């Protein structure tokens, strides 16, 4: 699995957790995210190792914070306090992407996917999420 596929899985998992806890801020342990995904997707380079110097979950969370989708406390450690979706993140997850689209919102798709996110589902959700205005 390539790095973008792994990023999509991590981003979808983070968004899923924050959506489930919204509006309550939570402590997001990026190590726990990696452990969960590593068990489901052993072919994904998620943590420290050759070619992956660091914690992909922490980098992904920082990206989501920098882009304004997530609010968080100090993002330097593996356990990030005060994580919650911003208005931008929540409204993006609630959008439908075609006129009169009967399909679920991105939030609905994350909830439907549950904890076993397939790489193609994660890619579709995160790609639409990040492409939104």
Q: Running along the chain, 133 residues long, what does each successive block of 10 average in pLDDT? A: 81 88 91 81 62 69 92 85 91 63 65 68 73 66
Helix (H, G, I), strand (E, B) or coil at 91: helix
The residue range of the domain holding 14 is 3-125
Residue 106 has a pLDDT of 67
Residue 83 pLDDT: 94
Across-strand partners of 111?
Answer: none
Question: Which two tokens mark 81?
Answer: 């306090």
Instruction: Quote the pLDDT of residue 67.
Output: 93
Residue 62 lies in a domain: yes
For residue 13, what pLDDT is reported? 87
What domain count does the chain have? 1
In a domain, 41, yes or no: yes
**Is residue 47 included in any domain, yes or no?**
yes
48, containing H or E segment: none
pLDDT of 128: 73
Reference 71, options 51, 87, 58; nearest CA is: 87
Determine, yes or no, domain membership for 121: yes
* pLDDT score, position 72: 93
Does residue 95 belong to any structural domain of this protein? yes
Q: What is the pTM of this model?
A: 0.69
CATH number at residue 106: 1.10.10
């Amino acid at each position: 699995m390539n790095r973008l596929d792994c990023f999509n899985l991590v981003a979808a998992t983070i968004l899923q957790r924050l959506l489930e806890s919204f509006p309550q801020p939570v402590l997001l342990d990026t190590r726990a995210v990696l452990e969960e995904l590593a068990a489901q997707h052993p072919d994904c380079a998620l943590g420290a190792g050759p070619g992956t110097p660091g914690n992909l979950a922490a980098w992904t969370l920082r990206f989501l914070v920098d882009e304004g989708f997530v609010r968080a406390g100090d993002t330097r450690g593996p356990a990030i306090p005060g994580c919650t979706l911003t208005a931008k993140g929540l409204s993006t997850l609630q959008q439908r992407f075609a006129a009169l689209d009967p399909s679920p919102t991105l939030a609905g798709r994350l909830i439907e996917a549950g904890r076993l996110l397939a790489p193609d589902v994660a890619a579709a959700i995160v790609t639409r999420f990040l492409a939104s205005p």
